[in-house]
Amino acid sequence: MAGTFYSHNTRDITPQMTSENTPSPCIVSTTSEDTGQEGWKAFTHTTNDGGWQTGEGYSGAHPASIIFDLGEGNAKTVSNYTLTSFPDAGKSWSLYGSNNNTDWTLLDSQSSINFSMDYPNQDDPAMISFNIASPASYRYYKITETLYDSYGGFAEIELIEEASDTIITPAPLAATPLLNVSDVFLGSSISPDPLAASPDLSAGLRVDLAIPELAAAAALSGGLLVSIPADLGIVAEMSVVALSSFGSSDFVITYLCRLTPRAGSAFSEIILPMSSFQGRFKSGDPSFLSVVVPGGDYAQAISDRNDPDDPPELSVYMVKTFVNGNVISERLMAVDLEDVRIYEGATNVSIELEGHRTVSYSPKAVTLSGASYKNYSAGKLRYRCEPDLYLRPGDVVTVDGETFTADNISIAMAVNAQTMEVAES
């Protein structure tokens, strides 16, 4: 494990385990484990102990499960999770939730995930984050690994709790009669004093306004995930149709998802709401894009446009809206749609779309900020830092005074987490 700098996520619901049932009331159990590499060691908040390793052999299809029991009355909602693994060219697993340890709900499933960014150095664990499309509250969480190339088990597992919500009610708020905030996520907390709302204010899901003073003009429409900066007055008729927004006092950045059929299709382009998206880029491999659409309202429209013989384009755009009303739109990622999956939980439905496309990039120099994780091994670097959605393989990266050429880039954008990992070529 030399050269690995592990950064524990503070919203991980699992405490730092020192045995299979310490601290109480949490309990870790497995269907298979090696002596000295027991399952509870995947929840020690460090990779220095080697984590959990199954006793089912070194490669192949050897299903093994690990269960984390939070204890009676301690059910939690997990919105995403991270897995840290020693180099492995192809791990497959499923994550489940349960409240009785008998009836399990599938939360996420991954196939042939490559943890070998710095392979062949076997002392270098790699961490990857995954979103849960339809989170719900569970006492038990289970990961069943079904296939691996090198080692069964994981060096570390984090179950990340969904961020707390602030629900807007009309009483303490003030706004213009036509202000409509539908399914909007904004910032982190709401201060009722500077806002008041008329009875016409509509809050579909939840709204967090990290803003001391917000000036909103009539007919502002919100889609999903909006973060408006302090002292930014929004111009009339601005429409926020899709994912999150970030910005300065001069503009708001909104991310839009488009599904565009090929020429000659009987169907037109549609803009889809999204709760998260992920992109992966690696030199020599096709780029990957995954988008999660909340709810099932767009299932038929997506199905109509999903032609396997001539697949539509799945793309994410960045739209920058300035306070003077000027708008700049730019495509960030685009792939050919390959797979559509519908997830149905007890209370939530979501649709996941994903695809690949081979793209060539011209190298450029990029300076990254907000580094929270560093890995150095075999003369190569990997950093986790604030997302730069323009970063691509071949770019010359400078972060924390170190410079290297980017090779493998993973980006995840969601309501409560925006992360990027970049590995040296």
Q: Which residue ranges make up each domain of the chain?
A: 4-161, 164-240, 273-357, 365-424
How large a percentage of the chain has pLDDT more than 90? 28
pLDDT tops 80 at residue 370? yes
Token couple for 265:
């299709």
Q: 43: which DSSP letter?
A: G
Tens-place pLDDT, residues 311-327: 999 999 887 777 777 77
Phi, psi dihedral angles at 40 (to 5 degrees): -65, -20
Question: Please, which pLDDT band fits residue 181 given cuts at 50, 70 and 90?
Answer: very low
Cβ density class 121-150: b for 16+ within 10 Å, e for less: eeebbbbbbbbbbbbbebbbbbbbbbbbbb
- Which CATH number describes the domain made up of 365-424? 2.40.30.150
Phi, psi dihedral angles at 307 (to 5 degrees): -95, 110
CA distance 94 to 91: 10
The confidence score (pLDDT) of residue 404 equals: 92
Token couple for 100:
């009785």
Range picked from 297-301, 360-364, 414-418 for highest mean pLDDT: 297-301
pLDDT tops 90 at residue 338? yes
Question: Please, which pLDDT band fits residue 123 given cuts at 50, 70 and 90?
Answer: very low
- CATH T-level assignment (fold) for domain 4-161: Jelly Rolls (2.60.120)
The confidence score (pLDDT) of residue 226 equals: 37
Q: Could you tell me where the beta strands, DSSP code E, fall in 197-348?
A: 215-216, 221-222, 233-234, 239-240, 245-246, 251-260, 270-272, 276-282, 287-294, 313-322, 327-344
Evaluate if pTM is beyond 0.75. Answer: no
Best CA proximity match to 143, nearest among 95, 102, 97, 109: 95
Tens-place pLDDT, residues 101-119: 999 999 999 888 877 543 3
Mean pLDDT value across the chain: 74
The confidence score (pLDDT) of residue 219 equals: 33
The confidence score (pLDDT) of residue 382 equals: 86
Of 347 and 38, the one with more pLDDT? 38
